[in-house]
Structure 1
Amino acid sequence: MTTTPSDAEIGRNAEPSKPIVPKSASEALRPQAGTPPPKRSRASRNQFVVFLNFLLSIVVLVVLAGGAAIYFGRLEFEGRGPTTVDQTILIKPNTGVQEIADQLERRGLISDARVFRLGVRAFGNDSALKAGEYEIKAGASMRDVMELLKSGKSVMYSLTIPEGLTVEQAFERIAEQEALSGDMPASLPAEGSLATDTQRFTRGTTRQSIIDKMLAHQKQMVEEIWARRAPGLPLADINAFVTLASIVEKETGRADERSRVASVFINRLKKKMRLQSDPTILYGLFGGKGRPADRPIYQSDIDKQTPYNTYQINGLPPTPIANPGRAALEAVANPSQTDDLYFVADGTGGHVFAKTLDEHNENVARWRAAQKKQAEEAAKAGATPPADGEQQTPAQ
């Protein structure tokens, strides 16, 4: 028979119960040992992940866009340019990269000034572009243009002063050269003092600097050649040397006979004979402007008294009559050793030489016969016969 314990028995067998002590608020909130932390809500977690993904996406897009911009920008920077013909452009001193880029774009020499500017900066050439005038080749890329402006290889111009021009004639050529800048000097330098060669320069070079260079070059050359002249020349000083060289320069342009022409004049000076050179007559009449092309020499010109007419004066004229070149100077400093005292034109651009007056007169007669025949042939053909040339003498 099962019996149910009575309440008294239950109370007797049970452990005495512990008193219940109320917890403080902080203890109530502190997680108990072994209790898992509260979980963040699903909605909160999803918003944070979405934001991180968004930021990552933005970074990736920026990187991709930047890479694409660099790639296509480089393609444009190094690709064929828009020009179809060669063109020149002048970059003035102290011009910045941005202004250069804008100028190139306005001229149609590059397709995008911003790409050019960024490309120059990327290559570290912000301050490396130089002023000057440049020839941009057809189809040149922006990089080609950058490298050209970085090199400083400007367009070069030439100014040629031929042997035998006077200082005044040379000055006319310098003044007419449009690539030069600045005014001409107020006065002319001494006759014969300019170098007769080709000057190379960039646009904007001053006329005065070109003239200064020519003066210095001629002075140096004349002094060097004069210092190694042959002994015994009948020339009093360096001015006489240049003067005779200028006469030789005007008498012949042939390299193979300059030293022989020089020997004729040296021999005549030694014998106290008058030089009788036609170019000196012309300089006395027309000065540095030179004889008009259609103006012959008349007998009255030969008889005219001027300080330069070597038919009328003894010895050399007071100054040179032109700017002599190196070859004429060398010919006078070291002339051929001959007994020649005369020469006359041979009708072919050269001269025949003679030691005696009789031989010379025969040469003159042959030359006059050739001139007469040439005039007759020209008349038959309806052409203007040639005037007597400068180079028919020295006569007796």
Structure 2
Amino acid sequence: MSRAVDLPTFPFVASAEPEDDAMGGRLLATAPITRARLASGVEVWVALGHDVVRSVLTDTRFSRTASLDPAAPRVAPGLDIPDVLVTMDGAEHARVRKLLTKAFTPRMIEQLRPSIEATVEDLLDEVERHGPPIDLVEHFTMPLPVRTICQLLGVPYEDQERFRDLSDRTRSSTAYSLEEVLTATFQLQQYMRDLVAAKREHPADDLTSELATAADERGTLTEDQLVKNLLLVLIAGFDTTLNQLSNSVVALLRRPAQFEQLRQEPGLVPGAVEELLRFLMLSPTGMLIRIATDDLDLGGERIRAGEGVLALANVANRDPAVFDDPEELDLTRVGASRHLSFGAGPHFCFGAQLARQELQSAITGLLRRFPTLRAAGPLEDIPWKEGLLLRGPKSVLVEW
């Protein structure tokens, strides 16, 4: 890749707020794919247009396993770990994914619905007992996905503060040093090893026990694959939903008319969740980097084998070639589900249906129980997380 002095620096987003990505939109208006320079000085390709992003995510000539090469470009420290589903390709990826997705089939998620709805009601009862003002992150948008994923994996809920803090460190872009990221990763892996050992001694009806049995009796997973992939499910299972739900609440608080529309027409909630997934820019760094394994053409550019390509679903989700008035949040939008927030292709997020169920149940319950919900202070004063791979508020004070 030839050098250039005027390449944009990646990530393009400077703001911590999930509604802001002006530079990505400006670049997309010029071309569906561009070059950029990482903080390390390494150049990469960045896919922006909807069709180009989808191509990167679905074309097997873009490899995640190749990102493990020490010479491969890095967006953030500690992201590329062997034996994890997100760094596998081909048959090995399909084999491990099949094992992990047993608890995430549509049938299993539908069976979880009553439990999720009961958790929503319990948390909203606690919110009501506490009374306003209250931090909705601490008391609602965080504990809902944490309790849900803990139930699925058989993780003791009382351990949640421990793994939440360590999780933030492993999902750092600039907030923590490489040493801090690696230390947190080691500690989380050790936590999961201890949990697996406990489940071997006392099996239960949870995914950890089931996968430990599969590893021991059928040899389908190595110990490293078992531990690291359970950890992946734990972290991804609460962190993304926590931030998406928190961001969705803020977006609705900023738009009282749309909040009221959903309250009056709760049947709109499933479509509204898809539109919020499209509109809110959760990760400024996009999908995990992929390495081209062959020379190929993409978006009018020639990609050479060995070059890194980043797929920005955030920008693709506001591609005017696919979505009318893409910069507007329209809760009645037709076709919002064409967003790429859960990815596409072999690495499509297998927890997507669980996340959708949690988001729908949470928003429906919140609207019904607190129809006069509003921010307890200026919305511009909401503190946002910085230096992490996912954007979201640290706290959201509300009243009613």
TM-score by length of 1: 0.21
State the structure with bigger RCO (CA 8 A, min sep 6), 1 or 2: 2
Greater helix percent: which structure? 2
Radius of gyration: which is bigger? 1
TM-score by length of 2: 0.21
